[in-house]
Amino acid sequence: MPDRKLPRLLQAPAVLLLLVWMLVPLGMTLYFSFIRYVLNNLRHPEWTTPSPSNWRGFGNYQFVLNSKDFLLAIQNSLFIVCSILFLTVTLGILIAVLINKAFPGQGIVRVLLISPFFVMPAVNAVLWINMILDPVLGLQGIAVSGINDVVDGLRQAPVLGSFFSLWPEFEPISFRATQTSAIAVIMMVTWQWTPFAVLIFMTSLQSEDQQQKEAAVLDGAGTWSQFRFLTLPHLGRPIAIVVMIQAIFHLSLYAEIEIVSRGNGNKNLPYLIGEFANNNIGAASATGIFAVILANIVAIFLLRAVGKTLME
């Protein structure tokens, strides 16, 4: 007789833990978002302890909505996540198709390719922003000044010199301060997650029906038609999964932004919350609730769409 109680009992710890994990902090965030609550205030010391008597209603929400950073942060969040998704999926498919067929050293290339996925995000950010993208000391800076030196040298050359003297001095790009820092974040996260997409698409490609392809060849389909009408549809499900899993991880992207720019110019929502939380917990909580709403909108779409295929 299948016992109905035991399965529930076995699930209980996991369900309860997650329930508490979700509800308690979220409930507190909700509560904080409706009161005046700051860490330091000399004139109103009573605001530094959370209490219902400091009720502010929707005041925190208004404050957040009116702050110029808020819309920018939402824009940035979506811009960063969407760019990463687009790049990883596109690059993922291209690279997967490229290395799917056997060639000498396929195994080694696979290992090389997958490595970035296991690098901790903190190291990823430190590595890129300093050693690679730094406008003076990083590879970028070195490369740009190297090119400039070469161009400079050529200016002295006879005949060609007049041509090269028309060339501008190349400027290295700073990825720390301006909107370009979002580009840096997109670059480093794409570097880290493209391997993940490649790995999944490759696995999926290996299960592609070869007889179907042979049938298509007999039907006169060229390489492009095969890719467009057989391979791409076959990858539909893995693409959906790659998008969902990445969305889960990237909506709460934080370490990279913190390290790259300390939020200069490209705050995303998590970063904005962190910034508010330096003092104004009420506003941080209200922003948090907005972030939860945003995540839920994304989650509803994604989980609905992908959930079905996963559950089969």
Determine the size of the site formed for another protein (CB under 8 A): 112
CB 7 to another protein: min, Å: 4
CA distance 73 to 77: 6
Annotate 208-234 with b (16+ C-beta within 10 A) or e (fewer).
eeeeeeeebeeeebeeeebeeebbeeb
The interface mask with another protein, positions 262-301, x = CB under 8 A, is: -------xxx-xx--x---x--xx-xxx-xx-xxx-xx--
The interface mask with another protein, positions 48-67, x = CB under 8 A, is: --x-----------------
User: How long is the chain?
Assistant: 312
Which position among 103, 159, 171, 233 is part of the footprint of another protein (CB under 8 A)?
Answer: 103
Segment interacting with another protein (CB under 8 A) among 20-28, 40-48, 64-72, 153-161: 20-28
Residue 119 zone, left/alpha/beta (φ > 0; ψ -120 to 50; rest): beta
Q: Which of 182, 243 has the CB closer to another protein?
A: 243
35 forms beta bridges with: 55
Which position among 82, 120, 160, 305 is part of the footprint of another protein (CB under 8 A)?
Answer: 120
Segment interacting with another protein (CB under 8 A) among 61-69, 81-89, 150-158, 201-209: 201-209
Q: Which of 117, 164 has the CB closer to another protein?
A: 117
- HEC per residue, 243-280: HHHHHHHHCCCCHHHHHHHCCCCCCCHHHHHHHHCCCE
Q: Which of residues 219-238 bind another protein (CB under 8 A)?
A: 223, 237-238
CA distance 308 to 312: 7
